[in-house]
Each structure stands twice: as structure tokens, then as C-alpha cells.
């Protein structure tokens, strides 16, 4: 498959967000002297995912996601305190809790020698800039596109239009988006008119209307996939 432009999602594709998230949550709950049980963690995952899905759909903005999720959690579990202030503390801890998937450094370093690599992410700008910088991966990418700075988000076509305008000599037929999210990355690629590669290490089923062109369980599978 001949490709020149590789658009990588960040969290859960290159960065082990689940590990970073749990570490930051545990630290923040400890700082607030609040119990961080498995029930609390699982409830947060479901609530947080729903809020981010609403953000992807354009129903709510990013600020609403951030300053609603822990307010709801505090209300649900009867915790006393300021959920918005908790968000700020959590955000700081998350900024400094970067975890990288084991294969990611080798893969991006290798592919950067033959392809133009970019990051496309819906994450919070300040957090993503710090975490990607701390990851050691940034030198291998030509540019980093963050929804908060572009004024639109994956899977919106407008997000990708902004990205493509900033990529020199961009050709959609030579582009591939690689990401774990069907609703954000893969659907976004569909909307943008580029081919998609679903990073699906857990072998989940596609129960959405997103069209997957290629599917991998390991980032190293990109070597053979991208071989001319």
C-alpha cells in the first residue's frame, strides 16, 4: 500500500491513556482524601466516555466535558467538595502521567524515515502538548493537530480540512489515519475522504457505521501494511 501521509491518533493508539488516566485519578483522589474504589473508577469511565461522545457529536463543548464529569461523580457518590476544582487538580496530575505503548517509539521512529507523520487528537491542548512532549515521540512528527486549537474536532470534516490545509503538498489518496476510536478516528477518516486503519488490539467488533479499510492488533503490523 503506497502512502505518504500517516495521521496517528494519540491516546489509546500511541499513548497508553488508560494507564495514565488511572494513575492520575488515584493520585487526585488521594490528595482529596476521597475513596477511589473500582466502582468509582468504572462509573467515571462510563460517564466520561458519554461526555466525550457528546463532544464528538457537537452536542456539548470541551469545557462542559471537563467541568461536568467530576461534578456528576461527586453528586452520584455523595462526595463533598468542588468537582470543578478536582478537575483542575486531576488535569495537572494527568499532564504529568504520560505512559507510552511499548511498540510506539520504535514504530514512529522507523516510519518517520519513509513517511510524513502527524498527530491528530481531540485531547485538551495543554495536556496533549505536555504529554506528547514527555513521551519522546514528538521529534518524529511533522506537526500535531489538536481539536481545541483548530476549533473543531474529530470526526468532523472541518477538523481534517484544517489539518490538510497545513500539510504541504497533501494528497488524500496518499493519506492514512491510524486510531483506536471507530466514532472519532475511523469515522473522521470516512468524513475526510481518506483511508482508515483501526488499531484494535483487543479484537473488538465494529458495531458502528464507520468503514474500516484496514485493521491491526499491533502497531508493528503497519510495517507490512505500508510496504510498497
CB of 43 closer than 8 Å to CB of 73: yes
In DSSP notation, 15-65 reads: B-HHHHHHHHHHHHHHHTT----HHHHHHHHHHHHHHHHHHHTTSS-HHHH
Residue where the block lists cell 467488533: 205
Angle 207-14-54 from CA coordinates, rounded to 5°: 45
Q: Which three cell numbers stand for residue 148?
A: 481545541
Catalytic residue ranges: 9
Rounded Cα–Cα distance for residues 105 and 137 (Å): 6
CB of 222 closer than 8 Å to CB of 203: no
SS3 148: helix
SS3 174: helix
Integer Rg of the chain from CA: 18
Question: Nearest Cα to 43, choosing from 15, 13, 79, 10?
Answer: 79
Amino acid at each position: 500500500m503506497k502512502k505518504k501521509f500517516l495521521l496517528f491518533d494519540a491516546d489509546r493508539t500511541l499513548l497508553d491513556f488508560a494507564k495514565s488516566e488511572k494513575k492520575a485519578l488515584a493520585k487526585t483522589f488521594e490528595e482529596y482524601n476521597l475513596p477511589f474504589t473500582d466502582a468509582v473508577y468504572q462509573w467515571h469511565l462510563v460517564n466520561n466516555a458519554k461526555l466525550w461522545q457528546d463532544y464528538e457529536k457537537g452536542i456539548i463543548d470541551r469545557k462542559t466535558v471537563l467541568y461536568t464529569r467530576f461534578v456528576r461523580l461527586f453528586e452520584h457518590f455523595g462526595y463533598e467538595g468542588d468537582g470543578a476544582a478536582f478537575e483542575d487538580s486531576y488535569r495537572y496530575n494527568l499532564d504529568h502521567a504520560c505512559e507510552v505503548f511499548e511498540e510506539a517509539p520504535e514504530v514512529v521512529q522507523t516510519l518517520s524515515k519513509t513517511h510524513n507523520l502527524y498527530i491528530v487528537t481531540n485531547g485538551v491542548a495543554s495536556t496533549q502538548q505536555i504529554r506528547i512532549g514527555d513521551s519522546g515521540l514528538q521529534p518524529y512528527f511533522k506537526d500535531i493537530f489538536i481539536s481545541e486549537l483548530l476549533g473543531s474536532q474529530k470526526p468532523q470534516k472541518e477538523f481534517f480540512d484544517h489539518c490538510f490545509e497545513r500539510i504541504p503538498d497533501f494528497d488524500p489518496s496518499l493519506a492514512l489515519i491510524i486510531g483506536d476510536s471507530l466514532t472519532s478516528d475511523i469515522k473522521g477518516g470516512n468524513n475526510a475522504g481518506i483511508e482508515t486503519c483501526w488499531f484494535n488490539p483487543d479484537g473488538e467488533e465494529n458495531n458502528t457505521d464507520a468503514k474500516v479499510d484496514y485493521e491491526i492488533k499491533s502497531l508493528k503490523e503497519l510495517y507490512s501494511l505500508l510496504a510498497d
